[in-house]
Structure 1
């Protein structure tokens, strides 16, 4: 995985980068650059073409390609598929070296969008990034991910200038210029920020924790929907969080067992990389999320289900699945070198996992807790604490707050 970019230019440098394939989108990219220059913003144009031919850009494609681990030969292969993939990686690495970048804009179709978007995602949250794309009116998650990329639909194809494309590109350029010129720096008096994950069935716990910490921290709550966890970790990678309280780790269920709100294999990666203080718990590890009942995979027939609403069906995790999750999570906690506390709520991990509730299954919970305890290697900075409380109990909330304040 490409290391995240953690620092770039100071806002006052105001250098906007215009990047794209100048061999096929040269007129559109030049138009963007001219619009930006007329606002007084400094501009650097970057060619990402894979033909190897010279262009009118300030930075030629060969200079970008040289940032690939395999050098320019890995990019200019003559095969479009491998060349574009290699240039995508080269551009990510190129962007990571730019210390004057205050904003990034591009325009393209599906190929150009896929070429530039990974580098945009690597940029810290808050750095202006605008992508004018033919793909912007569809599913943009593969391009935007957990980042704050502004996707603008091109309306017409990005294929020459016309009365429509000029208006759309002008709007995009002026939007980026405004973001760069009026960059909002964090207030020196701002409270440190802490990221928290929440699901509907862990809401009382997270609300209690945020209420207790609100006077000292800016509490940023993320809905654990797959993208929510990624967004929180993106802020951690961007060094915008002073700590993480990862109460609701339910995205792991969906990742391992085919649910619709899945994290990725990089879940917990930001906390590993940044070593920020982290409190972790087992919130909603009792459920896998699917859509309407008819969308549940056939091989899960006979399992315990709960209709959260007509569009969301929850499936109770088994003891075997919980044991697998315990190992998966524990192995990642072992890679955290910063201060980390794993708090285990022995009384239940969600609203549905309590006596008399449909997901109450002490044996399944026990399998999770045992796997975590056997996997997590405790050290001076990494501790596992078992508590005889339900995750939404006031006593558990107090423990979360106390342990976070201890390590923050």
Structure 2
């Protein structure tokens, strides 16, 4: 194979899954015209000649003191230790352009290890995990990344006529992604490494009930030399946004929809975690923030709503999603959290816009989640918390989806970003 042939990093525990890894390796080499770098992350080191990066090489590559024998450590410590040591190895291979996709296999422990290691690689780099855990809740493995997960159906514990075709499919998928990624890198079209003259990047947050606002914002931003990236505020979306802002990917944030904070503080299912609304402040990235969809907390089907909330105002958004109106005391806590986080921001690069007439399409006059008293508590708490911070709070008579309100937010963001309209 020539130097122009892409390489798949194949990662797994060679002490327990060597036969399966060698089968995938054979598929990649013989059927899909890619090279393979086999990486051993087993508790007990393998001496098989096909292993390209040994467990010993991983544990000694950092220059830190050699850890104790892994078989003497509890399982969770072994996983954490191997993630810590293999992540910089993968990052180095990526930086050198030596790998073009990563494929891993594992049970519960191996999946945690592989997914943790994959998070060291940037978004857009192909990542495929074949896992026994893929038919359940995969959020711990995907987190804020772009890991693709394939269900193994049977345990990865011996080749058979169910597992073989699944692993062969995984090899084909990883090879295809590696070829596509290699072509992008070779032609310098990879969006993660654009030239200095690239359009500015703006993150926008959206929920179904703030879609009109985001749609109008995108139209307005088309007049400027920028690209919009819309994040669905479902927990994972907020985490991905915070990660990318922290990595310096974005030049500005139009945070229209901060609903994930309601789920965090009240106990809904779409929390983005405690770091939501912190990255732009920390990185001094221009941001215009609003209070979109803070009128609601999200749960699954109606019968999954916790018993303590059964007497609350509920709206079945669809058969899979039930919305609960945030109460006044909850809005006070949310407002305090927003103000506390934004006080860390640069006042010259941060504004908060308050839509007095409603936080979503369900919170306008006559809509099922309208609660002006709760909204007023939220608004007042945000204003009081930011008083004397230097951060401007703009209180507007319109609702969040009103075009005039959205245009005002967009105008302020492009002003803070010092963007001029594109020449016609």
TM-score (norm 2): 0.81
**Gap change, CA 1:120 and 1:400, over 3 Å in 2:** same
The answer to whether the aligner puts 1:92 opposite 2:101 as a matched pair is: no
Task: Give the whole-Å Cα distance in 2 for the aligned partners of 1:378 and 1:74.
Answer: 56
Give the drift of 1:22. 0.9
Q: 2:221 aligns with which of 213, 228, 249?
A: 213
Per-residue deviation at 1:357?
A: 3.4
Structure 1 residues 328-381: Cα deviation after superposition (integer angstroms, max 9, x where no partner): 22233234459332222233222232333343333322322232233347777x
Q: 1:47 aligns with which of 40, 43, 48?
A: 40
Residue matched to 1:120: 118
Measured against aligned partners, the alpha-carbon deviations of 1:227-270 in whole angstroms (never above 9, x if no partner) come to 23234445445655443211111111111111122221232354
1:74–1:83: 8 Å Cα contact kept in structure 2? no
Distance 2:301 2:147 in 1: 31
Match among 371, 375, 393 for residue 381 of structure 2? 371
**Cα distance, 1:72 vs structure 2:** 1.5
CA 1:156–1:302: 2 relative to 1, 3 Å: closer
Q: Find 2:75's aligned residue among 77, 80, 84.
A: 80
Q: In structure 2, the residue corresponding to 1:24 is in which secondary structure? A: coil
Partner of 2:421 in structure 1?
none
Paired residue total: 397
- Give me the whole-angstrom Cα distance separating, in 2, the residues matched to 1:154 and 1:258: 32
Answer whether contact 1:125 1:238 (CA < 8 A) is retained: no
Residue number in structure 2 paired with 1:154: 152
Q: Determine the C-alpha separation between the residues in 2 that align with 1:193 and 1:326.
A: 28
Structure 1 runs (4+) greater than 6 angstroms displaced: 187-190, 377-380
Match of 1:196 in 2: 204
Whole-Å separation in 1 of the counterparts to 2:133 and 2:303: 30
Distance in 2 (alpha carbons) for counterparts of 1:363 and 1:259: 21
- The equivalent residue for 1:137 is 135
Structure 1 residues 3-402: aligned runs within 5 Å: 14-38=6-30, 39-52=32-45, 54=47, 56=49, 57-66=51-60, 67=62, 72-73=67-68, 75=70, 77-98=72-93, 99-100=95-96, 101-183=99-181, 184=184, 185-186=189-190, 191-216=199-224, 217-236=226-245, 240-272=249-281, 274-336=283-345, 339-376=349-386, 383-402=392-411
Per-residue CA deviation, residues 366-407 of structure 1 (Å, 9 max, x unaligned), is 322232233347777x54333333212222111111011112
Q: TM-score, normalised by structure 1?
A: 0.84
Q: Deviations over 1:11-60 (max 9, x none)?
A: 97944321111111122223333443444534322211123565542222
Q: CA RMSD of the aligned region, Å?
A: 3.2
CA distance in 2, matches of 1:97, 1:273: 27
Measure the CA separation in 1 of the matches of 2:81 and 2:334: 35
Are 1:124 and 1:235, in contact at CA under 8 Å, matched by a contact in 2? no
Q: Contact 1:91 / 1:116 at 8 angstroms: preserved in 2?
A: no
What SS class does the counterpart of residue 102 from structure 2 fall into? strand
The structure-2 alpha-carbon separation of the partners of 1:367 and 1:194, relative to structure 1 and needing over 3 Å to count, comes to same
Partner of 2:420: none
